[in-house]
Amino acid sequence: MVEIGELAPQFCLPGADEKEICLKDYQGRWLVLYFYPRDNTSGCTREAVDFTSALPRLQELGAAVLGVSRDSPASHRKFAEKHSLKVTLASDQDHRVTEAYGAWALKKMYGKESYGAVRSTFLIDPEGKIAHIWKKVSVKGHADAVVKRLGELVQK
């Protein structure tokens, strides 16, 4: 579990294009790192579409957006193409990065328990430190809340 003010756990993951995406690639700029359960589900699609819509405002504030799930790079490619997504997606098939950020937990759905990604967002500052955390995210209005918080932090 990471805390605000701590250095973000380092990682390298394959992107939708199979090229490696590393946290260090974002050094010197803000990063919106969000973890989501699965490509092409209603909530995850809405979240990715909302972040895509918010991307110009986030970029104006100096931020990039990276979405992470257990889906394969091929799944991410199809997901991005189907929904015209502009955010970068990375594949964490062994969920080690999701676990390192504390976004992996026991979940209960329809009476069954299983481990999975908990929708979570981490705002990482240009020095690589956790600046803000949203846990158990509700999708509606979330991308706007991230833009608002980033704007507040950039103003400081």
Q: Which residues are tagged catalytic?
A: 44
8 A C-beta contact, residue 21 and residue 105 = no
Rg (CA), the chain: 14
Choose among 124, 125, 138, 150: nearest CA to 36. Answer: 138
Choose among 64, 65, 89, 70: nearest CA to 78. Answer: 89
CA distance 126 to 25: 11
Q: Which residue has the tokens 């991308």?
A: 143
Left, alpha or beta for 63 (phi > 0: left; psi -120 to 50: alpha)? beta
